[in-house]
Amino acid sequence: MTVASPWFRAVVSAAQMQEIENWLFAQGMPVAALMEKAALQIANRLSLLYPPTKFPRIGVVVGPGHNGGDGLVVARELKLQDYQVEVLQPLDQLKPLTQNHADYGKGLGIPWVDDVQALAHCDLIIDALFGFGLTRPITGAIADLVTAINALPIPVVSIDLPSGIHTDTGEILGTAVQADRSFCLGLWKRAYFQDRALAHLGQTELLGIGLPLQAIASVLGQIWPVQILGTEQARRTLPLSRSLVTHKYQQGHVLLICGSQQYAGGALLA
């Protein structure tokens, strides 16, 4: 992964990400295969960042949708790597694919626990409740669960986006998980660049899931409306190589057109 990779620069809304995924599925990519690709990336990063010698006990909080499915695949992979894994599933009804992974996880002997306090002995909690696309406020028992997770003195890693954050605006939908680390999958979601979400994201990282450029272009076009300026692009665009004895009159001139007479702070800072 480098910042020069085109997929690394794209920033998408929830609707755009869903369209890109739908393009993949229309071309024949099985939903289960994409889930495996994403979850295996997460499991590999977790095993490097949180090795079992230091973080042997992992709690995974899973929701009803495919974010929960991602979490269950991660739970399975960590179990096979000799972590002690426990799963908290607060909602009974799961999507079919997520239910399949829940059944298999139980078949492997992964224990299911009844409440978040049963995870209090864990060394790490994985938030796989809702991920991207949530639009309704978290209320009731699930809100209490999120509050309890935030109160535990245990690091939390969120899959795709901390549960409770609006994907596009970064708004806190009632309450939200306060993650120590967030793994964004595939393409950066807009919430990662909204100030209201920053306190919940923790350390952020984008994990590629092998999205082909034609899938991204099918939704965003050839020129993407929102992109991240990476270090390599900045260096190519801004030639900053200068003589040690240069001065401002040898470096050209810049005209700033910004602000107003009433609000001139931005112009003065620039």
Grouping H, G, I as helix, E, B as strand and the rest as coil, residue 227 is strand
- Is pLDDT larger for residue 89 or for residue 224? 89
Q: Judge whether 94 and 102 are in contact, CB under 8 Å.
A: yes
pLDDT at position 46 is 96
114 burial (CB, 10 Å; 0-12 / 13-18 / 19+) is exposed
Confidence of residue 263 (pLDDT cuts 50, 70, 90): confident
Going by C-alpha positions, the residue among 38, 11, 180, 155 that lies closest to residue 101 is 38
Cα 226 to Cα 2, 158, 182, 187, 218: the distances in Å are: 18, 24, 21, 12, 15
Can you say how many angstroms the Cα of residue 49 is from the centroid of all Cα atoms in its chain?
16
Per CATH, the number for 6-220 is 3.40.50.10260
Q: Do 165 and 134 meet the contact criterion of CB atoms below 8 Å apart?
A: yes
Query: What value does the mean pLDDT take over residues 227-256?
Result: 77
User: What's the pTM value of the predicted model, to 2 decimals?
Assistant: 0.82
Domain boundaries, the chain: 6-220, 240-269
Assess whether pLDDT exceeds 50 at residue 1: no
Structure tokens at 104: 């298999």
pLDDT at res. 110: 95
- CA 206/CA 187 separation, integer angstroms: 7
Looking at residue 226, what is its pLDDT?
67
Q: Is the pLDDT score of 239 beyond 80?
A: no
Phi/psi at 153 (nearest 5 deg)?
-85, 50
Write out pLDDT tens, residues 79-132: 999 999 999 999 999 999 999 999 999 999 999 999 999 999 999 999 999 988
